[in-house]
């Protein structure tokens, strides 16, 4: 029986994350980094050569060192979450009987609400697109896709024609961990994609292997994340938007406007591709802030005499 040391166990954990959990490579690397931090601390500071010997006290002391190093509570919470996942794996594999992280409280994190655009601001950004340029309709279609479908930038660049069901009004989106979901695609967006095809895409010399991707650059290859960020940043600046705008801002705006319009939180969770409802619940805070500002503005008791 192989020794239960850090190296063997982390190799097994990596295989578990890939095959059992179906996580993407960058997600796996993130989980492993969290455990590597604990491994280094336990090996160097505590002389612990096996993860099954790590106690609750060891982890609490490790978190204390992170605090002393000036690591933010948000980062501490993320690292603790990664460590907790590792020990859950050890329980599943019958390597340990209980979680040493079970009674450790999460570091308190101040709620940081994402920036949200108004519908008028989104219209201004779309209006800032120079449609006289070949890529104009493509850029407008990109903005509309980010907002009306609520997709992540990584999902946007991977959208494919083979996943587009125009008659049904949906497009299949491949999200984190290769999880699939369907996002509604409206007629206005389909019309904008057609304009993009006529003005640009149909005239490109498309590179082999890129034929199925919807959004392409002028060299006939699929767009990169950096290019999407650049397009969004330049259009927000041209529209005179003072807020810090990124591709993710449109996803936040999509969810917030859906909630304000009366959509069920579970529906929004499904549309965004959130694995946990708690991730989606941040938008209830946004909605409460909106309601509070409306009350302060319009309730007769709050009006100045």
Candidates 261, 302, 263, 299; CA nearest to 280 is: 263
* Count of domains forming the chain: 2
pLDDT of residue 284: 60
274 is catalytic: yes
Looking at the predicted structure, is the pLDDT value of residue 52 above 90?
yes
Q: How confident is the model at residue 295 (pLDDT cuts 50, 70, 90)?
A: very low
Backbone angles phi, psi at 166, to 5 degrees: -65, -40
Given the residues 137, 138, 222, 251, select the one marked as catalytic: 251
Please pick, among 152, 222, 252, 257, the residue that the annotation labels catalytic: 152
Using DSSP, state whether 195 is helix, strand or coil: helix
Q: Does residue 299 carry a catalytic annotation?
A: no
Same-domain status, 174 and 252? yes
Of the residues 37, 95, 176, 207, only one is catalytic, namely: 176
**Domain membership of residue 11 as a residue range:** 6-92
State the DSSP H helix or E strand holding residue 170, giving kind and residue range, or none if neither: strand 170-174
Whether 196 is covered by a domain: the verdict is yes
Q: What is the pTM of this model?
A: 0.59
b/e map 242-268, b = 16+ CB within 10 Å = eeebbbebbbbbbbbbbbeeeeebeeb
- Give a yes or no: residue 55 inside a domain: yes
303: in domain = no
Q: How confident is residue 75, by pLDDT bands cut at 50, 70 and 90?
A: confident
Which residues, other chains included, contact 80 with Cβ-Cβ below 8 Å and sequence gap of 6+? Answer: 59, 63, 101, 104, 106, 107
Query: What confidence score (pLDDT) does residue 123 get?
Result: 95
The pLDDT of residue 264: 76
Cα dihedral 12, 16, 18, 24 in deg (nearest 10): -110
Output the domain CATH number for residue 14. Answer: 1.10.150.130
Model confidence pLDDT, tens digit, residues 125-176: 999 999 999 999 999 999 999 999 889 899 999 999 999 998 888 899 988 7
Q: Is 176 among the residues known to form the active site? A: yes
Verify whether residue 303 is a known catalytic residue.
no
Same domain assignment for residues 68 and 26: yes
Question: Is the same domain home to 23 and 141?
Answer: no
């Amino acid at each position: 029986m192989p020794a239960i040391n850090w190296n063997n166990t982390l190799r097994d954990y990596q295989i578990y994350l890939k095959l059992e959990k179906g996580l993407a490579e960058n997600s796996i690397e993130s989980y492993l980094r969290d455990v590597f931090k604990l491994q280094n601390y336990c090996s160097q500071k505590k002389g612990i050569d096996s993860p099954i010997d790590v106690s609750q006290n060891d982890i609490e002391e490790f978190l204390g060192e992170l605090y002393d190093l000036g690591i933010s509570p948000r980062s501490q919470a993320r690292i603790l979450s990664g460590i907790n996942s590792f020990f859950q794996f050890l329980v599943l594999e019958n390597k340990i009987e209980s979680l040493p992280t079970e009674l450790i409280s999460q570091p308190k994190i101040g709620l940081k609400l994402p920036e949200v655009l108004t519908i008028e601001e989104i219209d201004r950004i779309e209006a800032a697109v120079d449609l006289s340029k070949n890529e104009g309709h493509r850029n407008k279609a990109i903005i509309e896709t980010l907002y009306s479908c609520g997709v992540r930038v990584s999902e946007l660049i991977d959208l494919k024609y083979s996943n587009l069901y125009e008659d049904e009004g949906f497009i299949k989106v491949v999200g984190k961990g290769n999880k699939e979901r369907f996002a509604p695609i409206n007629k206005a967006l389909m019309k904008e994609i057609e304009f993009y095809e006529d003005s640009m895409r149909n005239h490109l010399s498309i590179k082999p292997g890129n034929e199925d991707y919807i959004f392409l650059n002028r060299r006939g290859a699929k767009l990169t994340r950096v290019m999407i960020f650049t397009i969004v940043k330049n259009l927000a600046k041209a529209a005179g938007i003072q807020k810090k705008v990124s591709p993710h801002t449109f996803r936040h705006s999509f969810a917030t406007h859906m909630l304000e319009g009366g959509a069920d939180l579970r529906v929004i969770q499904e549309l965004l591709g959130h694995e946990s409802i708690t991730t989606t619940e941040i938008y209830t805070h946004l909605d409460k802030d909106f309601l509070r500002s409306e009350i302060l503005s319009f309730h007769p008791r709050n009006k100045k005499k």
